[in-house]
Amino acid sequence: MDRASRRGATQVAVPAPEGPAPAPPLYPTPTGGAPRILILFSDTGGGHRAAAHALTEALKLLDPSCEVTVADPLIGQGPAVVRNLAALYSPVIRSSRRAWGALYHSSNTQPTFAAIRAVFGPAVRRVLRDLLKEHDPDAVLSVHPLLNHVAHQAIRKSGRPRALMTVITDLVDFHRGWTFSQADLVIAPTEGARRVALRRRVPPDRVKLLGLPVDLRFRPPAPGEKQALRRRFGLEEHRFTVLVMGGAAGVGALATQVRELTLEPHPWQLVVVCGRNEKLRRRLLEAEVATPMLVLGFVDYMPELMRACDLVVTKAGPGAIAEALATGVPLVITGFLPGQETSNVDFVVESRIGAFAPKEEDLLGEVRVMAEGGPTWREMSRKAEELAFPYASSDIARECLILASRYRASTQAIR
């Protein structure tokens, strides 16, 4: 469920529970009031929104008293020219991935990125200045590469010290906008990402390897839970189950992939998540298949679906990979977005947590090998659990609360 409005900022509040008094927070509220956190994201892809939501939930879990505001200074509140340009992301990647790759690489140089900040920075800074004035956060947490430098500039002119924390939501290699050396803390999702941050001169004491934040509901199934979930979803309890998905928008060649996996009888069953692509969902529901298949639209119970499955077929999005790792499920990657997702394919294959199958016939072969349930699938499942950071959201939230408390105390000392 999305907690951040598509326009404007949303302040997240949890109603007081009825019944017995709740347990004290894991991080007691500092003297002087509840900590205030401003999370910055943008709807240029669903991963940033998902990370903001996961961190909001984790912050409220650790300290229910904290005030969390989630804002989108680019598409949600930015000036018209910034909104219109940022909103082109989804149409571009759907129509021409090659064009996006060229755009990504051309912007990922120091001169070009500096020019982008010079042109669009002042307008975004004004939005951030208003957010800082309205919500007066103790810490600003950014989950978008275009917001780190401008957030720092807005903080410097806001009249009081505030923490700036960057959470990288790309998996291995990433845009230089992520690595801002003056942030108080930069969170790396993988060891490879940590090394990239150090290579780009982020001080070692400001980089922490904590993983990529995902919903805390993503976890390995408890004994017997996988079969119970399959019963709940109307699936066969003991049949190898493959989850096929293309993100919230249902993009990718899902139709051809599903056709390849269901055209003939196979010993597996499919769960296909079409996201908000209603046309695709209807098309698949009407298709004639020889292998059992459950077709779904947009769901808010993806953690439960993933725990019911043995294999995930998806594109190389960092969020989907991190969710599969947290659940302990191997992957078959079918495609990637040129630029930030290119190295994710190597990460999956070289870490031995999955396979790369860009062609439909390759996909069928990989799923057939995995469905045998032999050493290949078992070893990949073990490696997935080994590499996972299932509590990344909590660990990152904890660091954010520590920073917020420190800056709040320093501000009170100055006053």
Domains of the chain by range and CATH?
10-213+391-414 (3.40.50.2000), 225-387 (3.40.50.2000)
Supply the pLDDT for residue 5.
40
How is residue 333 annotated by DSSP? E
Supply the pLDDT for residue 116.
72
Read off the tokens for 271. Answer: 């769960």
Q: Rounded to whole angstroms, how far apart are CA atoms 207 and 194?
A: 7
Low-confidence ranges of the chain (pLDDT < 70): 1-32, 45-46, 76-97, 99-105, 247-252, 412-415
Q: Rounded to whole angstroms, how far apart are CA atoms 217 and 247?
A: 18
Q: Rounded to whole angstroms, how far apart are CA atoms 348 and 345?
A: 5
Supply the pLDDT for residue 270.
97
Supply the pLDDT for residue 44.
73
Asked whether the CA dihedral 300, 303, 309, 313 is positive or negative, the reply is: positive
Q: 194: helix, coil or strand?
A: helix
Supply the pLDDT for residue 10.
60
Supply the pLDDT for residue 78.
61
Long-range contacts of 359-362 (CB under 8 A, 24+ apart): 360/253, 360/256, 360/257, 360/259, 360/260, 361/260
Supply the pLDDT for residue 221.
95
How is residue 188 annotated by DSSP? E
